Amino acid sequence: MMTNPTGRMTQGQFSFLPDLTDDEILMQVQYGLNKGYAWSVEYTDDPHPRNTYWDMHGHPMFDLADAAGVMLELKACRQAFPRHYIRLMAFDSTRGVESVVMSFIVNRPPHEPGFQLERMEMDARNVRYTTRSYATHRPEGERYAD
């Protein structure tokens, strides 16, 4: 159990709110589609804050008109990886942006053990810090199993 006020990992746009229902997720997806964004479903069992590249569940969905398409992809991802972190990310290809513009978590492991902070004492009072997820002590695919 993590000790921050939410009791869980707080990445993404809506981690401080109650989990979004599928209807609420659909509304966010529709908002992004209306703005011309392409949605992508990504999953991981390594929630380190600097783990940028979660695995893609297919390519970003360009040229998609119906938010239901994203929900189908999410459903498939949840079935394949029910105990992984899953996030929806929206990409904006506008010149001068060309990056992620929305990102929120839509699936979590049932138990989030959190992170260990390791301090390596250096010269003088200097310290080097390393953050390690307790879950990633186990190999990929075997994390969050119980």
Partner 1 sequence: MNKPVDMGVITDAKKRYSAGVLKYRQMGYWEADYVPKATDVVCLFRITPQDGVDAIEAAAAVAGESSTATWTVVWTDRLTACDSYRAKAYRVEEVPNNPGQYFAWVAYDLVLFEEGSIANMTASLIGNVFSFKPLKACRLEDIQIPVAYVKTFKGPPTGMIVERERLDKFGRPLLGATTKPKLGLSGRNYGRVIYEGLKGGLDFMKDDENINSQPFMHWRDRFLFVMDAVNKAQAATGEVKGSYLNVTGATMEDMYERAEFAKSLGSCVIMIDLVIGWTAIQSMANWCRKNDMILHMHRAGHGTYTRQKSHGVSFRVIAKWLRLAGCDHLHAGTAVGKLEGDPMTVQGYYNVCRDSYTRQDLQRGLFFDQDWADLRKVMPVASGGIHAGQMHQLLGLFGDDVILQFGGGTIGHPQGIQAGAVANRVALECMVKARNEGRDIAHEGPEILRTAARFCSPLQQALDTWGDITFNYASTDTSDFAVTPTTA
Cβ at position 101, least distance to partner 1 in Å: 6
Cβ at position 54, least distance to partner 1 in Å: 10
Q: Is 67 in the site for partner 1 (CB under 8 A)?
A: no
Selected from 1, 59, 65, 117, the binder of partner 1 by CB under 8 A is 117
Single-letter amino acid, residue 127: V
- Name which of residues 15 to 54 contact partner 1 (CB under 8 A): 15-18, 20, 24, 27-28, 31, 47-50, 52
User: Which tokens sit at 66?
Assistant: 């119906």
Q: Is 93 in the site for partner 1 (CB under 8 A)?
A: no
The residues that bridge with 104 in the sheet, in sequence order, are 88
SS3 category, 56: strand
Closest CA to 16 of 25, 28, 4: 4
CA distance 27 to 124: 53
Single-letter amino acid, residue 6: T
Q: Is 64 in the site for partner 1 (CB under 8 A)?
A: no
24 Cβ contact list (under 8 Å, min separation 6): none
Q: Is 127 in the site for partner 1 (CB under 8 A)?
A: yes
Selected from 89, 106, 107, 108, the binder of partner 1 by CB under 8 A is 89
